[in-house]
Structure 1
Amino acid sequence: MNISVDNTPVETKTTCPYCGVGCGVIARVEEDGKVSIKGDPDHPANFGRLCSKGSALGETLDLDGRALEPQVFGAPASWDEALDLVAARFKDTIAEFGPESVAFYLSGQLLTEDYYVANKLMKGFIGSANIDTNSRLCMASSVAGHKRAFGSDTVPGCYEDLELADLIVLVGSNMGWCHPVLYQRIAAEKARRPSLKVVVIDPRRTATSDIADLHLSIKPDGDVALFNGLLAHLIETGVIDQTYIAAHTHGFSEVFEQIMGQSLADLMMQTGLPAMQLRQFFKLFAASEKVVTCYSQGVNQSSSGTDKVNAIINCHLATGRIGKPGMGPFSLTGQPNAMGGREVGGLANMLAAHMDLENPRHRESAQNFWAAPTMAEKPGLKAVDMFKAVADGRIKALWIMSTNPVVSMPDANAVKAAIEACPFVVVSDMQADTDTARLAHVLLPASGWGEKSGTVTNSERRISRQRPFKAAPGSAQPDWWQLAEVARRMGFAQAFAYTSPAEIFAEHAALSGLNNNGSRDFDISAYRTIDAQHYDALSPFQWPQPLGTAPKDSRFFSNGKFYHSDGKARFSATAPAQSDRVNDAFPLTLNTGRVRDHWHTMTRTGKSARLSAHLAEPFAEIHPLDGRDFGIEDAALVEITSVTGQRVIVRALLSERQSRGAIFVPMHWTGEVAPTGRVDTLIPSNTDPISGQPALKSCGVAIKPCVMEAYGFAISATKPTAIDATYWALAKAESGWRLELGFERTMDWTAWARATLNVPSDADMVGYQDQASGDVRLAFFDGDRLCAALFMAHEPVSVSRNWAASQLSQCFAHRNNRVSLIAGRPSANQIDPGAIVCSCFSVGINQITDAIAKGCTTVKAIGETLSAGTNCGSCRAEIGAILAATRPIAAE
């Protein structure tokens, strides 16, 4: 939907491409081609709010690193050459080795229309179910838990329930950083209605914990034991709804027998929680009728993830707290279209339109609808097993779309080796030089956000349009088009004769209503005849919307009817996890996850200097007492190893928010920007036996100091190349790049700087080298402009990073300014904002402490003075911590 008022630049309503909140955004293309972004006040997911990542979307649309034309074996090629080769190699491989010898690996970044075409081609025309997605890494355990409990992959509630609840339980969810807009909806409601209680269950005291009335620092994988203990308490105190259980469920007696009789001492040992906190949580849950339990990757990414999901759902079923306003279990999806992928059967064990792949009637319905020559009859290989099959040669042709498994998969180096050994690899991506794209035999340039058209579904089942507002660069094409063209060349032209995503969406909608009549939860058949005009104008709507009905917000299961054959839900007996991941060799538990301002493997957010300023390099968050025990100081480099035999080197961040015995390392950094920071190389490929989801949050590791001969920090106006260093981490700066460095040996630093930082041969150099101390300060100037600077020392260098990076845009006509730069800190008349706290407004810690010194005593006051914390609000917890640290301590 394009909007133009009074000849102003056109505005386009679209949807954010980041997390599963599914925020509406308005993109405005200015006359100079720049794109400004604001939240859509009419979108029911966010009502105009945006997080730091969403606000910075306009800064991520440059062509740096974009794939602009097809490449075949590293050489430019036409689309016809590339697509003919892909079709021929897949056909030949299938003819020689059978349909199980090929596979697609997809992504929650794809639009539903892309997903639909891929699933139809693989399952209905190739005849294999070897199609899986990186959504397997984030929400497969939720799918399995839903199906086990409800008979369908159904999220019962709505975002509105967060504002209607009396108690919100956040389990394994750092909502403040990972779903910030939902977090702000809760924070706003809590401010309006202080009786609303929040419990956060997480081994780390994350930013989310700062609005919690109770934070439970649970032992990793202690969730099943905790919720089994909760259910036992609900039974013992008579809070369960026996009438509801009898009328609408099966399996309660089996669960009852398993969980009753456990001692409080056992529960304390299994959860790592003190008795007082256990009792407090149990009483709060029991006393609050309107309870919403939100859970995310801390639940799903586990070898017992499905049991965790069902242990949570058991508590809601036992109390009848499901399907009603302000109550129910709520799975928060990690990716923008993980839900859309589930709707079209994008997982290896699913069929389109929430049909069951192993149900012969469902397979027959889909096959007849598609007029498909063959249908997959059994589940395909899930993500981890898929790459194992690539490694051992069972899969000989692989198509990877819009994801970077060489970074994001567990045992990532083994995945890299598997892809390198695969006879034929196709990669469709926006970026030409990701860790995965570099391994492609055929690289297909994909159009990206802002260029392609389709739909996505958010965590509350709301389908929204992503609309284009700029032309795709070069010869980039949408993923659905690439798939349809290959299908046509494989001999399936009639079934893939799509000319627009509107046609695909209409077919998807029609299939959802096929032989349905309420027997399946997913039904959007009201849109089966949608045309291009109505598709373009499509407003966000929540499914289901069967044929002949109007859009309306809805909850499932309010009538007690579920999707098992008898209409009843199922309790599932779940046993507490038994883990041997920690031992003498690997005494700490590694938890991986996201940071506030970056997304997945940074192919988008890494383009924004503003987003990179908050946390510019990979780090390990370690409790100070663990740091003491292992000889690790704050800001030092640390080496981490695991049973995979790999090692990573990252910066140590000592924090009491981290629980003892565990460390946290973000998953974003790649071989492109920090080759020793690929943390998923440490994670063994252990999976949940039901969902196939890997355990990315509980791996045994060892840590030790990583002592370097020399440490450095550099800034450069051009992107550094061929970086010869043991440790390095590269990040975008406002007018160039910033680079952290560690070396196991010293070298000629002037020559190193000129070669690596691309310094012009005639550039002027200012600086000094102190052989005794090891300090080196070098700056290179092209006329009045700074080309590059290098700061070296025997210890981590003390340089004001953000201030130094900002100097790339300054004029250095006066020599005094050049000397100040060499000092690594601003002169008296210059401002150093310090480390960035608020990415939305680029506000640093020095500015915040200065505001406090001038009389700001609250987060609100700082927001009024500096704007910090007034947009997405994700930094408010950090601002609060700064306030607390600077507040005078009362004398005793």
Structure 2
Amino acid sequence: MQSQLINRQSSVKDQGIVQSTCAYCGVGCGVDITLSQGKASTLKGTPEHPANFGRLCVKGTHLLETIDLTDRLLVPLVNDNEVCWQDAIDTVATKFKGIINEHGPDAVAFYVSGQMLTEDYYVANKLMKGFIGSGNIDTNSRLCMSSAVSAYKRAFGEDIVPCSYTDLENTDLLVLTGSNAAWTHPVLFQRIERAKQINPNFKVVVVDPRVSATAATADLHLPIKPGTDTALFNGLLNYLLEHDGLDNEYIRQSTEGFTNCMSECSAWTLDKVSNFCAIETKILIQFYQCFLASDKVVTMYSMGINQSTSGVDKCQSIINVHLATGKIGKEGCGPFSITGQPNAMGGREVGGLANQLAAHMEIENEQHRDLVQTFWQSPCIAEKQGAKAVDLFDQIHSGKIKAIWIMATNPLVSLPDNAKIIQAMEQCEFVVVSDCVSSNDTLEFADVKLPATPWIEKNGTVTNSERRISRQRNSLMPAGQAKHDWEIISLVAQAMGYKGFDYNHPQQVFTEFASLSGYKNEGDNSRIFDISGLSALTENQYDLMQPVQWPINEKYPLGCKQLFANGEYATSSAKASFIAVTPKLPEQQINDTYPLSLNSGRYRDQWHTMTRTGKAAKLTQHLAKPFLSINPLDAKKANIENGDIVTVRSKVGEIIAPANITDEQTSGQCFMPIHWNKKFASNATISALYQSNVDPISGQPEAKYTGISVEKLSLAQYGDIFVSDEFAVNADYWLKTKTTFGWHYQMAHAEEKTVSQWTALFGLNGEWLSFENGNTKQLICLVNNKLVCAIYLSAERFSEPLWISEYFSKETVSFADIQLLLSGAAPSREQTSRKVCSCFNVSEYQIEQAIEQGCSSVTELGEQLKCGTNCGSCKPELQSIINSFDAEANDIIPIVEVVNG
């Protein structure tokens, strides 16, 4: 066994370029990492990678700022005591075996992640379903795209994304719904913007309840009532029927179930859709006519569609429209689900979801179970679906599941009904967490903590949203005692006595999986997912593998860009299925107690729970707070002013956040980002507000709608603290943000603290200087005449003197500097203005000045200030600032010129 514990890693270069894949969203951008003396020195987009062609968003651009060893888990821990790997592995194996022997295989579970590589995912799935014999392995991808999976399977017979990124560039009409792509998938959005510049007839329609960065740039924005998307697309299908917009030949030859589908859709007249969706009929007609007049249409959708108690039906209503018009299986057409994580698609391929087997096979299909068990030569096979994410933690809460192994994810932040998840984890008999960080909300409950490799140390493959498999090559050797996830899982499997896990390299895992995808893939077992063409790769060939879209087999040796081109599908009849869907409103409705609805989503420069992006100071300069965005009318009713700290309550929990009053929110609706957690804020974990309502088919929780109330929090003292090093926080409200010089804290107390109480927080042996002016106090600490801490206290609200950052970079501060720092008075608006372009550090003030001096386009701003010329993520906001200088622009809904069908 000891020999198996030797680190088996691919060697990495000391010099040169390593081509890898970005660690963030499902776009799957290629990155070139330049190594110098064994260290990653620069990172750029890979020019020839077909996902991004050299483009990177702001998060990808600053990846190398996130790879330091701060807060890394570097050694195995059992009950927070450092142990050797052998002891850690034996502890996990022994405990899992004991629970399985006493309570059965369904008493244990794995909860895995779209952050894992395909090889990691495959080995975890193999161990749980083929050797332990339970379906209890699910993934955080359940929270982002499982509704899309279920709809694709229901319509096509298999989880097949029929589109490619080139379809986005070669369409006539792109419909974006449930997606703020400008912020969540910026590189794709850049490709879309470029396509619009090339093709003046290219139109973009955005369906979104709020004026997002994406909606602000659309040709037509449909601000529908949250949760009413199914009605919108049912109405579209009815409109197309009435205006001779259907492809009746395609319906006859390639589909079934159309009559039943139309029996539901025929009831959705323009007036009914208008009332249900709370949108003007004239805007509906503009959209419907534009769809009718366009030969090629792509509908691109993401979390806003999927994260719903009727998410599968929403996806299905989109698919129905494309099937009925024949706008599928050809260039520039199709229903295109965009995934949120770098390897959400890879998890789907290997059966990472609790209701799947590997290689797109089904647990409830006896032939598939026999096939997989025979291939694995496993002692058993899961015979029924396991517990999906929300149910899995419910079963931990009830005591049915007694041991959980969590890998590369933070469910204490991401799962709904946070209070219940905490209770479940507190009473769980045995918790194992594999992660690359030493602390987060979930690790607090771990009995065993296993150090896993992060992005830059991982070696394997990922699959992006267009079915493209890319190599993620490690640029650095594993730090400390960290191991790859596939390796850790294999060692535990061996310690449990299972054979078939003696892998020495990820290539062995990958080629085994590729072989399984083609194993008896014929006749009744025929599946479109087939990468058997890669099953004979040598280690060298695997290392050199270039990005390729599946299927990859004898029929498609170089991969396949366009699926369903022949009108044949993966169903038993070879026809796609229409499904009649009835629009349903969200289950978590508003009421008199909770009169506002809450939507959630991502910020441009942050990612998931900020484990990575929270380390990069460049990524906190754009939006550094978990604001609750609220309409001015709603704020006025609650007596809330911009910047007030508010308590947000729902039926199941409450959080605290600053209020951001904005016209971009429709009255009655609020928005808040998902990223903040106990590591960065006192109480801003938005999952605490959502109930655990799920789609009955997909099991995906509803995370876009719940009823809330908002109330101003009574606070007596506010403090902005700038300090070189982190410190332990104790306050009624606090927020922590990484800066170029250290950290910026905001702390507020219900009762005023004395100056000595504030200075005692830091234990600094320096010279404290202070100045008091009425209700404000300014304190600074100098060590050898260098600024190491600055505190700005106020009785009203945070002063946010971000301009002081530059003074921390000075080796000594002058007397004039000290006077300025103690006055608390900003030198100029230029130094207090927020950053819009993180790549070139361009502020809103600079942009406004350039506009006043004559810049009237994003291109001209780029030429003068460079903003928007690197990753392009800030372009929508640049355009918004330009629009704000034109009073008329704010009042006009862009109109698409259409031709009546």
Which among 443, 449, 452 is matched to residue 443 of structure 1?
A: 449
- What residue in structure 2 maps to residue 629 of structure 1? 637
Matched, 1:159 2:159: no
Q: Do the aligned partners of 2:768 and 2:782 also contact (CA within 8 Å) in 1?
A: yes
Task: Give the superposition deviation at 1:214.
Answer: 0.4
Q: Do the aligned partners of 1:513 and 1:547 also contact (CA within 8 Å) in 2?
A: no
- What residue in structure 2 maps to residue 557 of structure 1? 564
Task: Give the superposition deviation at 1:253.
Answer: 0.7
Cα distance in 2 for residues equivalent to 1:692 and 1:683: 15
Matched, 1:808 2:811: no
SS at match of 2:839: coil
Name the CA shift for 1:391/1:582 in 2 (closer, same or farther; >3 Å): same
- What residue in structure 2 maps to residue 487 of structure 1? 493
Task: Give the superposition deviation at 1:629.
Answer: 1.9
Deviations 1:342-386 (CA, angstroms, capped at 9, x unpaired): 000000000100011111000000000000100000000000000
Q: Which runs of structure 2 are paired with 1:511-550 in the superposition (5 Å)?
A: 511-517=516-522, 519-547=526-554, 549-550=556-557
Cα distance in 1 for residues equivalent to 2:880 and 2:569: 46
Q: Which runs of structure 2 are paired with 1:185-584 in the superposition (5 Å)?
A: 185-492=191-498, 494-517=499-522, 519-547=526-554, 549-579=556-586, 581-584=589-592
Code of the aligned partner of 1:691: S
SS at match of 2:726: coil
- What residue in structure 1 maps to residue 844 of structure 2? 845
Cα distance in 2 for residues equivalent to 1:831 and 1:197: 37
- What residue in structure 1 maps to residue 764 of structure 2? 760
Task: Give the superposition deviation at 1:826.
Answer: 4.5
Aligned residue pairs, count: 877
Q: Do the aligned partners of 1:812 and 1:818 also contact (CA within 8 Å) in 2?
A: no
TM-score normalised by the chain length of structure 2: 0.95
SS at match of 1:597: coil
- What residue in structure 2 maps to residue 97 of structure 1? 103
Cα distance in 1 for residues equivalent to 2:109 and 2:888: 62
Code of the aligned partner of 1:243: E
Q: Do the aligned partners of 1:87 and 1:489 also contact (CA within 8 Å) in 2?
A: yes
SS at match of 2:455: coil
Q: Do the aligned partners of 1:620 and 1:664 also contact (CA within 8 Å) in 2?
A: yes
Q: Do the aligned partners of 1:617 and 1:674 also contact (CA within 8 Å) in 2?
A: no
Task: Give the superposition deviation at 1:750.
Answer: 3.4
Task: Give the superposition deviation at 1:628.
Answer: 1.5
Code of the aligned partner of 1:765: W
Code of the aligned partner of 2:534: Y
Name the CA shift for 1:263/1:853 in 2 (closer, same or farther; >3 Å): closer
Cα distance in 2 for residues equivalent to 1:35 and 1:754: 40
Deviations 1:676-709 (CA, angstroms, capped at 9, x unpaired): 1111111000000010000000111111112311
- What residue in structure 1 maps to residue 137 of structure 2? 131
Deviations 1:288-307 (CA, angstroms, capped at 9, x unpaired): 01000000000000000000
Cα distance in 2 for residues equivalent to 1:798 and 1:125: 59
- What residue in structure 1 maps to residue 686 of structure 2? 679
Code of the aligned partner of 2:503: Y
Deviations 1:522-554 (CA, angstroms, capped at 9, x unpaired): 100011111110010000000001147421442
Q: Do the aligned partners of 1:713 and 1:790 also contact (CA within 8 Å) in 2?
A: yes
Which among 599, 612, 615 is matched to residue 607 of structure 1?
A: 615
Code of the aligned partner of 1:184: Q
Q: Do the aligned partners of 1:169 and 1:292 also contact (CA within 8 Å) in 2?
A: yes
Task: Give the superposition deviation at 1:115.
Answer: 0.1
Name the CA shift for 1:563/1:617 in 2 (closer, same or farther; >3 Å): same
SS at match of 1:103: strand
- What residue in structure 2 maps to residue 63 of structure 1? 69
Task: Give the superposition deviation at 1:262.
Answer: 3.4
After the TM superposition, which of the residue ranges 187-196 and 131-140 deviates more from structure 2? Answer: 187-196
Name the CA shift for 1:865/1:759 in 2 (closer, same or farther; >3 Å): farther
Task: Give the superposition deviation at 1:730.
Answer: 0.2
SS at match of 1:400: strand
Q: Do the aligned partners of 1:435 and 1:671 also contact (CA within 8 Å) in 2?
A: yes
- What residue in structure 2 maps to residue 788 of structure 1? 789
Cα distance in 1 for residues equivalent to 2:162 and 2:860: 39
Task: Give the superposition deviation at 1:579.
Answer: 4.0
Name the CA shift for 1:889/1:239 in 2 (closer, same or farther; >3 Å): closer
Task: Give the superposition deviation at 1:34.
Answer: 5.0
Cα distance in 1 for residues equivalent to 2:59 and 2:770: 38
- What residue in structure 1 maps to residue 898 of structure 2? none
Q: Which runs of structure 2 are paired with 1:677-716 in the superposition (5 Å)?
A: 677-716=684-723
Task: Give the superposition deviation at 1:621.
Answer: 1.1
- What residue in structure 2 maps to residue 651 of structure 1? 658
Matched, 1:597 2:627: no
Cα distance in 2 for residues equivalent to 1:797 and 1:93: 52
Task: Give the superposition deviation at 1:850.
Answer: 2.9
Task: Give the superposition deviation at 1:827.
Answer: 3.5
Cα distance in 2 for residues equivalent to 1:356 and 1:813: 67
Deviations 1:793-849 (CA, angstroms, capped at 9, x unpaired): 111133432x22332212343111011122334447x96162111112221112222
Cα distance in 2 for residues equivalent to 1:446 and 1:425: 16
SS at match of 1:495: coil
Alignment gaps of 5+ in structure 1: none
After the TM superposition, which of the residue ranges 380-389 and 23-32 deviates more from structure 2? Answer: 23-32
Cα distance in 2 for residues equivalent to 1:687 and 1:303: 5
Code of the aligned partner of 1:885: S
Code of the aligned partner of 1:365: L
Name the CA shift for 1:548/1:214 in 2 (closer, same or farther; >3 Å): closer
Name the CA shift for 1:551/1:725 in 2 (closer, same or farther; >3 Å): same
Task: Give the superposition deviation at 1:854.
Answer: 3.7
Q: Which runs of structure 2 are paired with 1:131-150 in the superposition (5 Å)?
A: 131-150=137-156
Alignment gaps of 5+ in structure 2: 1-9, 890-901
Deviations 1:652-673 (CA, angstroms, capped at 9, x unpaired): 1111111221111111001011
Name the CA shift for 1:813/1:576 in 2 (closer, same or farther; >3 Å): closer
Code of the aligned partner of 1:866: L
Q: Do the aligned partners of 1:712 and 1:741 also contact (CA within 8 Å) in 2?
A: yes
SS at match of 1:207: coil
Q: Do the aligned partners of 1:172 and 1:299 also contact (CA within 8 Å) in 2?
A: yes
Task: Give the superposition deviation at 1:287.
Answer: 0.8
Task: Give the superposition deviation at 1:245.
Answer: 0.8
Which among 581, 586, 607 is matched to residue 594 of structure 2?
A: 586
Q: Do the aligned partners of 2:620 and 2:738 also contact (CA within 8 Å) in 1?
A: yes
Deviations 1:605-625 (CA, angstroms, capped at 9, x unpaired): 000000011111211111122
SS at match of 1:155: coil
- What residue in structure 2 maps to residue 824 of structure 1? 824
TM-score normalised by the chain length of structure 1: 0.96
Code of the aligned partner of 1:677: A
Q: Do the aligned partners of 1:838 and 1:844 also contact (CA within 8 Å) in 2?
A: yes
Deviations 1:126-181 (CA, angstroms, capped at 9, x unpaired): 00000000000000000000001000000001000011100000010000000000
Which among 153, 174, 177 is matched to residue 171 of structure 1?
A: 177
Name the CA shift for 1:426/1:261 in 2 (closer, same or farther; >3 Å): closer
SS at match of 1:884: helix
- What residue in structure 1 maps to residue 26 of structure 2? 20
Cα distance in 1 for residues equivalent to 2:15 and 2:678: 39
- What residue in structure 2 maps to residue 776 of structure 1? 777
Task: Give the superposition deviation at 1:191.
Answer: 1.3
Cα distance in 2 for residues equivalent to 1:447 and 1:577: 43
